[in-house]
Amino acid sequence: MPRVTDDEPVVDPILDAAPCGFVSFADDGSIRAANTTLLELLGLTRDELVGRRIESILNVGTRIFYQTHLFPLVKLHGRADEVFLLLRPASGDDIAMLANAVRRERGGETVTDCILIRVRERQKFEDALLRAKKIADEARAAADEQRHEVEAANEQLERQALELELSQQQLIEQAEELEAQSEELRAVNDELVQRSEELEHLRTVADEANRAKSVFLTMMSHELRTPLNAIGGYVQLLEMGIHGPVTEAQAEALGRITRGQRHLLRLINDVLNLARIESGRVEYDIKQCVLRDIVDAVLPLVEPQLQARKLRHEVSIPTGLAAHTDRDKLQQVLLNLLSNAAKFTGAGGLVSIVAFVDEHHPDRVCLRVTDTGTGIPADRLQYVFEPFVQVDDSRARRAEGTGLGLAISRDLARGMGGDLTATSEAGIGSTFTISLPRA
Ligand code: ADP
């Protein structure tokens, strides 16, 4: 082995051109020799390199590694294999190398010979490895993410399954409830069917009762009216003295019999009338009727009564005001109202008859009878249209009427498409209003 000096070739020609770097340095780190391959790699001349310290061609990290590991290792074992180093060339990037180092004695000193092989391919593999690792990491991260998503989806599915189970439970409960309700409905339906059967039966009974009532009324009309008329006739004969002279006391008794007979006759007629109206057997002959004509026809019938009780009366009816109504029946209603007004108004009182167009319903006309009589207490007013109701039920009053007049009158007014209503104040007077379709 030639001695290493500044002017001698450093390494033999084969090693000088070998496809790997070669450097030899002393224990103090100063470089003794280097081959051309390494000089070219570092971009230095031999003069520039030889004599420098080995650390100066290493990058910072490798320099520390050299001082703390590599050099102590070589010193201890005499060699180091496949140590990774990064060389620092004069210019450009660090160069990765694998180094095999051997410590030996040469030329009277201890040197370390070091073969340096480029690890370009290894670098490529390392890069590929790094890329693969990165891809693997990314894939792992993506897999983790997917796993999380799957876990989340799983959790959601579990929650949904739970909710489904709950709603299924609710549905079952609702179905049970519906079943119970339909059971109840079936029971109610059964009851309704039973009730309607009962009602049907009651209707049959009522129809039969109605038929019996008609038969009874017809019979009563015949069986009672005939003897009552006969009583009237016989009393008249007695009064006329046909059967001998009549004493004053007898005449008075006969007068009472006559009054009783007439009252009974009126009662029977009223009952028959009411029954006929209520059973819908009354026919109405609806025509256009001028109200003034109706009043003019009725007034003469009550005038004797009004005069007897010293009552004034006044009439106010617009000319030509007419109603669609049944003339005779309206006259009957008006006669009843005027007789009542005469009956229940004290001497000197006033009975007025007015007619007008209903201000709230212009297609209706009203015929109104007002008196300044006894009036009807508020708590009795609603009952006066009920059959047989008389506010003053003293005997004398009862004898004067039947309590059927207003019931009949209202039924007739309604039967003609109208109505009969009353307002009154006890001690002040009463007002009865017939309303009818306007003609
Ligand atoms: P009647 O006059 O035959 O008793 P109504 O049905 O016509 O029967 O009248 C029922 C009752 O209404 C009467 O008994 C009377 O008490 C009361 N009434 C009717 N019209 C008047 C009126 N103009 N003033 C006071 N009370 C009345």
Query: For the chain, which residues make up each domain, given as ranges?
Result: 3-120, 122-201, 224-278, 287-437
What's the confidence (pLDDT) of residue 3? 41
**Atom of ligand 1 at shortest distance to CA of 391?**
16
Angle subtended by helix axes 248-278 and 405-415, to nearest 10: 30
Cα distance between residue 84 and residue 97, in whole Å = 6
Lowest-confidence region among 35-44, 129-138, 299-308, 384-393? 384-393
Lowest-confidence region among 76-85, 187-196, 207-216, 305-314? 207-216
Q: What percent of the chain has pLDDT over 70?
A: 95
User: How far lies 78's CA from each of 104, 112, 116, 173, in Å?
Assistant: 8, 9, 17, 89
CATH number for region 3-120: 3.30.450.20
Looking at the DSSP bridge assignments, the partners of residue 316 are: 354
User: How far lies 125's CA from each of 41, 53, 121, 137, in Å?
Assistant: 21, 32, 6, 17
- Ligand 1, atom 25, lies closest to the CA of 375
Write the pLDDT tens digit of every residue in 354-366.
999 999 999 999 9
Residue 391 alpha carbon to ligand 1 centre in Å? 7
Residue 52 has pLDDT above 50, yes or no: yes
Residue 401 alpha carbon to ligand 1 centre in Å? 8
Q: By C-alpha distance, which of 298, 281, 280 is closest to 289?
A: 298
Residue with tokens 């593999």: 125
Question: Can you read off the two tokens belonging to residue 110?
Answer: 């201890």
The helix/strand/coil state of 103 is strand
Model's pTM, two decimal places?
Answer: 0.55
Write the pLDDT tens digit of every residue in 133-180.
899 899 999 999 999 999 999 999 999 999 999 999 999 999 999 999
Q: Tell me which of 306, 313, 344, 410 to substitute to probe ligand 1's pocket, judged by most ligand atoms within 8 Å of the beta carbon.
A: 344
Write the pLDDT tens digit of every residue in 396-432.
555 567 788 999 999 999 999 999 999 999 999 999 9
Residue 346 alpha carbon to ligand 1 centre in Å? 14
- Ligand 1, atom 14, lies closest to the CA of 390
How large is the average pLDDT for residues 107-120?
91
Residue 434 has pLDDT above 70, yes or no: yes
Yes or no: say if 312 and 349 are a contact pair by the CB < 8 Å rule: yes
Q: Tell me which of 340, 383, 388, 393 to substitute to probe ligand 1's pocket, judged by most ligand atoms within 8 Å of the beta carbon.
A: 340
User: What CATH topology corresponds to 287-437?
Assistant: Heat Shock Protein 90 (3.30.565)
Q: What is the CA radius of gyration of the chain?
A: 68
